């Protein structure tokens, strides 16, 4: 049975380029990059070369990159590190459609005394900023917002928010985990102070991420230990992972400049065919700007879990909401915030394509979706 992988927002396949770059540091060149001997210094050079490669995604200096264990840690380091740096309790402004990592760090910030404001969204997933000016009158802290929504692919217009926030004395953090490799990151450095990305979302290895920091921005470390990563992230660096991240970043920087019309064409083909074949199928956030690889489609009256199981048995791998929330019986907080009817939310499936996705795979996925939806609706009628 062929495997049709349409869950690339959860994780992408490790690219051959990244794999090849990592191999020497998995098979033979084993050393701690903090060691003074030749092997240690070779590892240090590999880490710093990868730092420069990741920095090139932002067109910035390598010193502005802090390596972490992934997007979640990068988000926590940005938000809590900023708030803990303040002499008194500050303010966190975020949105109702953050990744679960952003939702969790907000809870932690509130527990530590921060004032908290959350921007709502409309039915298309666009941020509603009517109360932003009032929120910015609170004690300055950090505005932390997701740029590309992981569930719907909606792209948020963050620059006007960031401009107003920085004028009010706030630090601006952008969760660009789902944007890296899909959108150019360099323009964001013009108005953001901190940017989080993750390697495994752009065909790098799992377990490694980065926080980009504007020069002059200061934050507190969340853990103490050695002096790695400019004293901001103690612990021995994951050399193979960081090297793979660098190689994947180099590849992504080149590819993101190329036209993405093929990926958008495949996504549109998938949406159109499914909506033609499945009555009452609804594409979420279709009126909002979206990244080209992502679509969430609601099949009203069809339980998402049953649909995912049926698709998996046919070799089609998709997801329901955020993969980090799998196993939860709670409905997607993103779709709830958008005001979708309960029946649509319960039948929402996310399909996320990659540069490896083919037209044949899309057509085969449409057939599988149609078959499973028809079977489930027949059983429930």
Instruction: Mark residue 352 as left, alpha or beta (left: phi above 0; alpha: psi -120 to 50; beta: remaining).
Output: beta
Q: What angle do CA 112, 191, 68 make, to 5 degrees?
A: 55
Q: What is the dihedral of CA 271, 272, 273, 276, to 10 degrees?
A: 120
Catalytic residue check, 278: no
For the record, the structure tokens of 159 come out as 């620059």
Q: Which is catalytic among the residues 275, 278, 298, 324?
A: 324
Count of all residues that appear for the chain in the document: 381
For the record, the structure tokens of 282 come out as 């609804």
Cα–Cα dist 252/274, whole Å: 30
Q: CB-based contacts of 314: which residues, under 8 Å, 6+ apart?
A: 1, 368, 371, 372
Pick from 229, 170, 179, 166: which is nearest to 71 by CA? 179
Cα–Cα dist 233/119, whole Å: 30
Cα–Cα dist 361/357, whole Å: 7
Cα–Cα dist 119/121, whole Å: 7
Residues with a known catalytic role: 324
């Amino acid at each position: 049975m062929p495997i049709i992988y349409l869950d690339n927002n959860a994780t992408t396949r490790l690219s051959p380029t990244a794999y090849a770059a990592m191999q020497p540091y998995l098979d033979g060149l084993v050393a701690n990059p903090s060691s003074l001997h030749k092997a240690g210094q070779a590892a240090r050079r590999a880490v710093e070369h990868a730092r420069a490669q990741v920095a090139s995604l932002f067109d910035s200096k390598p010193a502005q990159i802090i390596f972490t264990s992934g997007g979640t840690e990068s988000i926590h380091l940005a938000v809590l590190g900023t708030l803990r740096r303040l002499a008194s309790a500050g303010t966190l402004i975020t949105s109702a459609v953050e990744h679960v990592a952003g939702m969790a760090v907000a809870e932690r910030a509130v527990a530590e005394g921060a004032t908290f404001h959350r921007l709502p969204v409309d039915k298309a997933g666009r941020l509603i900023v009517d109360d932003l000016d009032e929120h910015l009158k609170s004690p300055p802290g950090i505005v932390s917002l997701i740029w590309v929504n992981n569930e719907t692919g909606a792209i948020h217009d963050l620059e006007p928010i960031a401009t107003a926030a920085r004028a009010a004395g706030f630090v601006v953090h952008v969760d660009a985990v789902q944007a890296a490799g899909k959108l150019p990151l360099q323009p964001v450095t013009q108005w953001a102070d901190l940017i989080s990305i993750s390697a495994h979302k752009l065909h790098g290895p799992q377990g490694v991420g980065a926080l980009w920091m504007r020069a002059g921005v200061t934050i507190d470390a969340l853990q103490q230990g050695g002096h790695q990563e400019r004293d901001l992230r103690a612990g021995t660096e994951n050399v193979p992972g960081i090297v793979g991240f660098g190689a994947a970043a180099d590849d992504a920087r080149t590819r993101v400049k190329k036209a993405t019309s093929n990926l958008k064409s495949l996504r549109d083909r998938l949406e159109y065919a499914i909506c033609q074949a499945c009555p009452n199928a609804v594409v979420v956030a279709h009126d909002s700007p979206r990244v080209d690889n992502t679509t969430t489609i609601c099949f009203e009256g069809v339980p998402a879990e049953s649909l995912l199981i049926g698709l998996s048995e046919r070799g089609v791998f998709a997801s329901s909401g955020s993969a980090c929330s799998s196993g939860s019986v709670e409905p997607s907080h993103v779709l709830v915030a958008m005001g979708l009817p309960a029946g649509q939310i319960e039948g929402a499936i996310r399909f996320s394509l990659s540069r490896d996705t083919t037209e044949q795979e899309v057509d085969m996925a449409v057939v599988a979706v149609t078959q499973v939806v028809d079977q489930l609706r027949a059983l429930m009628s």
